[in-house]
Amino acid sequence: MASTRERIVKAALKLLLEQAYENVTLVAIAEAAGVSHQTVLNHFTSKENVGAAAAEVLSRQTQDVRDRAVPDDQLGAIAILVGEYERFGDPAARWAIASERLGSLAPLLDRARAGHQAWLDRIFADRLPKAAGHASSRHSRAACGHGCLRLEAPSPRPAPLTRRHRADHARTGGRDP
């Protein structure tokens, strides 16, 4: 049988994959884990600490799945990637949107993005287009510093900014945050 701590983390992860971070409460985590609110606090002291433990579990699960991919089997790697997007696409989008409100969890999201990019680089390095002006990079990155990366072929004109980027650029006078 799973330990109390493991049950709490598993319940938190399930809720965080289903709902926005702001909507997940310690009470809801406790109920899903079959423990009291005080038990959750005794083990983790805060919602951020429960979230960090859940993020660590998710990171290990993701790494275990992605470790099955090899550069020579790009179709297999694409199948893994699509499976991961199916499982985590919506939550990842919610977390990205809420990143400014995640407090101490925001660096975990940044680390996950960097890990994802490194995996893409390792698995698809020979297939990624070489970006003009990026001698050391085999792909082009978004022009702004909002943490967004997109893979694209070099283009004579930059890709349009998303609504969020336009708003951020308007707020900051076009400077990266």
* Count of positions (residues) in the chain: 177
CB neighbour list of residue 75: distance below 8 Å, 6 or more residues apart: none
3-state secondary structure of 17: helix
The 8 Å CB, 24+ separation contacts for 145-154 are 145/176, 145/177, 146/176, 146/177, 147/96, 147/99, 147/110, 147/113, 149/113, 149/117, 151/120, 153/129, 154/129, 154/130
For 4-127, CATH number out of 1.25.40.10, 3.40.1350.10, 1.10.357.10, 3.40.50.2020 equals: 1.10.357.10
Rounded average pLDDT per 10-residue block, the chain, 177 residues: 91 93 94 96 94 92 89 89 88 81 80 88 81 44 40 44 60 58
Amino acid 79: pLDDT: 92
Amino acid 10: pLDDT: 96
Amino acid 160: pLDDT: 54
pTM of the model: 0.66
- Domain ranges in the chain? 4-127
Neighbours of 8 (CB within 10 A): 26
